[in-house]
């Protein structure tokens, strides 16, 4: 990351405990302006808790965070007009129409009345909601509700947009269209922090942090993370992948094996000087029919490698 880039979010040692549960564990974070920064992690890895601290909804147990130049949570009220927040679950009013929801959000943000109608019309057109203008939000499809929620989140033209797993309940086309909207926002200068557990979404981010048990275990661009897994990735195309996996699982050098159809992705620490020969010797010795090759790491390989260490730390949403 360019050390001279303006940071929209800076957190140091950010920690949140709920009794004996450590939800976020000494998180350090640097998010430059006008990029899409991802939080990648399984359910319970602390993504939501971290976002809530960054927008001032939760008070940290330890550490500090500065968002748009303001320390949080002390300056949460001053921060609110400059951020948009879209939660995982649809949180607008189902018994209000699309138009009424947008008008209500405009009231919350005290959007200037002389330009309010023009802004709402702009959003209805931009987020393809003209056909649902008078439809009650509770009767809309998942993709339509998602577009409405995003329109409401950006109504005040926020400098920072916080999105908590916003695509968890929509179809692939709606997810693809949603990401096109996010890139347009980033290109226009909006900084976006998005949490996800989808690998394909994480690959779309300019930068991302991988969270596990509340800890940041990796941070960088997808390409940087893929180049620094610390693992050699052996892809095995096998006639009987289950039999191959049973034998390879016996090797202490093998860190992880993932099956993808008839293929296996075998992770071996790159301290091993000849991982391909190691796998080939097992296949020959057990007379197993398969072909092998060293391949580049996928983001899923990165995630597996980064979260491999067993931990007894509790989990939180």
More confident residue, 22 or 312: 22
Considering only CA atoms, which of 109, 164, 101, 108 is closest in space to residue 127? Answer: 101
Topology match between the domains 7-220 and 230-296: no
Residue 309 pLDDT? 60
Q: How far is CA 238 from CA 202, 253, 258, 300, in A?
A: 29, 20, 13, 21
Assign 167 a pLDDT band (cuts: 50, 70, 90).
Answer: confident
**Could you give the CA distance from residue 82 to residue 79 in angstroms, rounded to a whole number?**
6
pLDDT: is 197 or 25 the higher one? 25
Q: Does 136 score more than 50 pLDDT?
A: yes
For 24-28, 86-90, 100-104, 268-272, which range has the lowest pLDDT when averaged over its residues? 86-90
CA atoms within 13 A on the CB side of 77: 1
For 7-220, give the CATH class: alpha beta
What is the average pLDDT across 112-135? 95
8-state DSSP, 46: S
312, pLDDT greater than 80 = no
What are the boundaries of each domain within the chain? 7-220, 230-296
Cβ proximity of 74 and 220 under 8 Å:
no
* 48 token code pair: 């939501």
pTM of the model: 0.89
Q: Average pLDDT for residues 12-22, to the nearest whole number? A: 97
What pLDDT was estimated at residue 91? Answer: 76
Strands 191-196 and 160-164 turn out to be: parallel
pLDDT at 316: 44
Task: Please state the rounded mean pLDDT for residues 104-122.
Answer: 94
Q: Please identify which residue in the block is written with the tokens 């067993």.
A: 310
Q: What is the mean pLDDT of residues 35-56?
A: 94
Tell me the pLDDT tens digit for each residue of 218-249: 999 999 999 999 999 999 999 999 999 999 99
Q: Residues, the chain, total?
A: 317
Statement: residue 94 has pLDDT above 80:
yes
- CA–CA gap between residue 71 and residue 11 (Å, rounded): 10
- Please list, residue by residue across 18-46, b when 16 or more beta carbons sit within 10 angstroms of its beta carbon and e when fewer do: eeeebbbbebebbbbbbbbbbbbbeebbb
For residues 267-287, give the mean pLDDT.
Answer: 96
Confidence of residue 5 (pLDDT cuts 50, 70, 90): low
Using alpha carbons, select from 107, 105, 85 the residue that is nearest to residue 93: 105
pLDDT digits (tens, 9 = 90+) for 53-66: 999 999 999 999 99
Class of domain 230-296: alpha beta
Reading across the β-sheet that carries 83-86, which strands appear in turn? 83-86, 160-164, 191-196, 36-40, 207-212, 215-220
Q: Using the predicted structure, report yes or no on whether residue 308 has a pLDDT greater than 90.
A: no
Residue 284: per-residue pLDDT: 96
Q: Lowest-confidence range among 76-80, 141-145, 191-195, 290-294?
A: 141-145
- Residue 115, classified by CB atoms within 10 Å of its CB into exposed (0-12), middle (13-18) or buried (19+), is exposed
Q: What is the mean pLDDT of residues 153-160?
A: 96
State the DSSP H helix or E strand holding residue 16, giving kind and residue range, or none if neither: strand 7-18
| Contact indicator for 165, 195 with CB cutoff of 8 Å | yes
Residue 313 reports pLDDT greater than 70: no
């Amino acid at each position: 990351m360019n050390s001279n880039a303006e940071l929209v979010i800076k957190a140091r040692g950010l920690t949140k405990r709920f009794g004996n549960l450590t939800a976020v564990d000494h998180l350090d974070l640097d998010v430059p302006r006008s990029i899409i920064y991802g939080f990648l992690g399984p359910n319970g890895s602390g993504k939501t808790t971290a976002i809530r601290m960054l927008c001032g909804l939760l008070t940290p147990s330890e550490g500090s965070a500065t968002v748009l130049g303001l320390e949080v949570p002390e300056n949460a009220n001053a921060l609110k007009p400059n951020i948009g927040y879209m939660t995982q679950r649809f949180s607008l009013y189902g018994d209000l129409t699309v138009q009424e929801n947008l008008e209500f959000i405009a009231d919350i943000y005290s959007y200037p009345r002389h330009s309010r109608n023009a802004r709402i019309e702009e959003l209805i057109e931009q987020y393809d909601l003209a056909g649902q203008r008078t439809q009650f939000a509770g009767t809309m499809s998942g993709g339509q509700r998602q577009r409405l929620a995003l329109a409401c989140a950006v109504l005040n033209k926020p400098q920072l947009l916080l999105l908590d797993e916003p695509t968890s309940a929509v179809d692939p086309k709606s997810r693809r269209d949603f990401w096109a909207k996010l890139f347009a926002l980033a290109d226009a200068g909006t900084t976006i922090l998005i949490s996800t557990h989808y690998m394909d979404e994480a690959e779309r981010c300019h930068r991302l942090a991988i969270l596990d048990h509340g800890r940041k275990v990796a941070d960088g661009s997808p390409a940087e993370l893929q180049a620094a897994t610390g693992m050699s990735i052996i892809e095995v195309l096998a006639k009987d992948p289950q039999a191959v996996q049973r034998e390879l699982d016996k090797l202490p050098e093998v860190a992880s094996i993932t099956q993808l159809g008839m293929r296996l992705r075998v992770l071996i620490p790159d301290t091993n000087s000849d991982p391909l020969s190691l796998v080939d010797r097992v296949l020959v010795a057990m007379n197993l029919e398969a072909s092998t090759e060293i391949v580049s790491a996928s983001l899923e390989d990165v995630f597996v490698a980064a979260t491999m260490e067993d931990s007894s730390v509790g989990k939180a949403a």
